[in-house]
């Protein structure tokens, strides 16, 4: 379990990891006082198991139908179909709905699981007390690239198309930034958000809600597909974005990594890796491996970007003073102007940063900013596990993209706290 649980009233909700081990993902609610299980909603299986009691999404025909968590899989593949829930949870107290996303289907070899593979790669809205799904929206049906869909869902009230909207904004690994109506699951906007546009799909069709795929970049066990952008690590992975009410923009730490991908037949064995692909990752167009981006959710366009040599793999923090903080894999904690991206301050930490800066008021009345310096995660797996650079496919392809990083950082593990004037 790598997720942080969420407590809503007297309910605590948590998920599971294990998308590369053939798990069947779920979220579980417990009584916060006794630990008694209240309900469990699976990512795959029958409507009863997934806790869908009405059409999952009234806007899109491909997301309507009975027991799609079974019928969009081949045979009993849904039982090991992934859809882990290892990420983040958000809650709207006015709507009394909590939101989360599910991860990749298993295996990574798409040939072994024909169909849409619902409800992996899906944003869910649920009632926290009953678990009932209010709506579901699948971002990447029949995922062929490991575009794990668990990235955070940020709730913000926006004006889109001239109308006030209770929005949910999600920057997916697949390279598209989504703005949905969080009351109904309708996609209002879906546009590229990173330094480069994805090439596996030309767009998200707002009428059908599904991607318009480019067949050239589909994957299979029959050949090695090259030049896919983004790579499995996504144009954004686990590093959370941040919203600023001052600018009404989002600030997104991104990756600029592409890949070659070849599916491999694999058999399920409990407790053993269930991956089924050989992946080689490398820098995307431009050569830099990341960028820190300001993104307008109304226009669906970038406002500015700061290119980084390595992936911008630490989370973002906006403040009421008009500043946004973020960390880099080189170990720099940076403060930049929210409107212009102009760098205001930087500090070199003892290790790379993949953590999220935070701010608080101390008992002395001063404002503090803290960040954990220490490397890990997919981009930093080589350093964290002491790997060598010989095999570019090692670390599920990360060594190909970040092999030089093995000599640039130590694993670290230092909490740094700064006081603001």
Report whether pLDDT(411) > 90.
Answer: no
**pLDDT tier, 409 (very low <50, low <70, confident <90, very high otherwise):** confident
Report whether pLDDT(1) > 90.
Answer: no
pLDDT at 72: 98
For residue 6, cis peptide bond before it (omega within 30 degrees of 0): no
Helices and strands in the chain: count of H runs, count of E runs: 4, 28
Determine how many CB atoms are found less than 10 A away from the CB of residue 161.
Answer: 8
Q: For residue 347, what are its two tokens?
A: 């500090």
pLDDT at 307: 98
DSSP code at position 110: G
Report whether pLDDT(410) > 90.
Answer: no
Q: Look-up: residue for tokens 């993104």?
A: 295
Q: Which domains, and CATH codes, for the chain?
A: 6-312 (2.140.10.10)
Burial 2-23 (b: 16+ CB within 10 A, else e): ebeebebeebbbbbbbbbbbbb
**pLDDT tier, 381 (very low <50, low <70, confident <90, very high otherwise):** very high
CA distance 288 to 130: 46
Q: Answer with the residue of higher pLDDT: 312 or 376.
A: 312
Q: For residue 113, what are its two tokens?
A: 């699981």
Q: Tell which residue, 237, 239, 284, has the closest CA to residue 258.
A: 284
Residues 287-299: what's their mean pLDDT? Answer: 97
CA distance 356 to 347: 15
Sheet holding 133-138, edge to edge: 90-92, 97-101, 122-126, 133-138
Rg (CA), the chain: 21
The answer to whether 197 and 175 are in contact (CB under 8 A) is yes
Residues 185-193: what's their mean pLDDT? Answer: 98
Q: Look-up: residue for tokens 């993902």?
A: 25
Q: What is the mean pLDDT of the chain?
A: 96
CA distance 28 to 13: 6
Q: For residue 28, what are its two tokens?
A: 């579980």
CA distance 108 to 20: 8
pLDDT digits (tens, 9 = 90+) for 94-126: 999 999 999 999 999 999 999 999 999 999 999
Q: Tell which residue, 209, 213, 211, has the closest CA to residue 58.
A: 209
Please state whether the predicted TM-score (pTM) of the whole model is above 0.95.
yes
Report whether pLDDT(412) > 90.
Answer: no
pLDDT at 363: 95
pLDDT digits (tens, 9 = 90+) for 326-371: 999 999 999 999 999 999 999 999 999 999 999 999 999 999 999 9
Q: Look-up: residue for tokens 């009404």?
A: 248
The end-to-end CA distance of the chain, in Å, is 39
146 is annotated as an active-site residue:
yes
E strands, 215-357, are 225-228, 242-244, 249-255, 257-263, 277-283, 290-296, 301-308, 316-318, 323-327, 332-337, 343-348
Active-site annotation holder among 49, 146, 148, 260: 146
Cα dihedral across residues 211, 212, 216, 222: positive or negative = positive
């Amino acid at each position: 379990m790598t997720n942080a649980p969420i407590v809503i009233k007297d309910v605590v909700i948590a998920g599971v990891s294990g998308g590369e081990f053939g798990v069947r993902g779920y979220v579980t609610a417990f009584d916060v006082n006794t630990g008694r299980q209240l309900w469990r909603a699976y990512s795959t299986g029958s409507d009863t198991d997934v806790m869908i009691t009405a059409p999952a999404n009234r806007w899109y025909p491909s997301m309507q139908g009975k027991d799609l968590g079974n019928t969009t899989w081949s045979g009993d593949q849904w039982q090991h179909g992934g859809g882990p829930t290892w990420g983040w949870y958000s809650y709207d107290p006015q709507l009394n709905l909590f939101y989360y996303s599910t991860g990749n289907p298993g295996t990574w070899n798409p040939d072994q699981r024909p169909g849409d593979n619902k409800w992996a790669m899906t944003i869910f809205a649920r009632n926290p007390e009953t678990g009932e799904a209010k709506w579901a929206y699948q971002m990447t049906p029949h995922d062929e690239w490991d575009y794990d869909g668990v990235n955070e869902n940020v709730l913000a009230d926006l004006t889109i198309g001239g109308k006030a909207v209770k929005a949910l904004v999600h920057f997916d690994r697949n390279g598209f930034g989504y703005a949905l109506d969080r009351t109904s699951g309708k996609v209002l906007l879906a546009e590229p958000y990173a330094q480069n546009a994805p090439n596996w799909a030309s767009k998200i069709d707002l009428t059908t809600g599904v991607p318009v795929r480019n067949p050239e970049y589909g994957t299979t066990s029959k050949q090695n597909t090259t030049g896919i952008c983004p790579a499995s690590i996504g144009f954004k992975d686990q590093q959370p974005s941040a919203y600023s009410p001052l600018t009404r923009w989002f600030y997104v730490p991104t990756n600029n990594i592409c890949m070659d991908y070849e599916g491999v037949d694999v058999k399920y064995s409990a407790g053993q890796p269930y991956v089924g692909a050989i992946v080689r990752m490398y820098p995307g167009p431009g050569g830099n491996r990341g960028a820190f981006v300001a993104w307008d959710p109304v226009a669906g366009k970038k406002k500015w970007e700061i290119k980084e040599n390595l992936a911008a793999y630490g989370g973002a923090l906006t403040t009421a003073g008009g500043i946004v903080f973020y960390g880099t894999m080189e170990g720099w904690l940076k403060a930049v102007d929210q409107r212009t991206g102009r760098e205001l301050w930087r500090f070199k930490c003892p290790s790379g940063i993949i953590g999220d800066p935070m701010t608080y008021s101390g008992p002395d009345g001063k404002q503090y900013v803290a960040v954990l310096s220490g490397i890990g995660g997919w981009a930093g797996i080589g350093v964290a596990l002491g790997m060598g650079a010989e095999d570019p496919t090692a670390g599920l392809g990360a060594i190909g993209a970040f092999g030089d990083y093995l000599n640039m950082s130590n694993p670290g593990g230092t909490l740094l706290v700064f006081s603001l004037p």
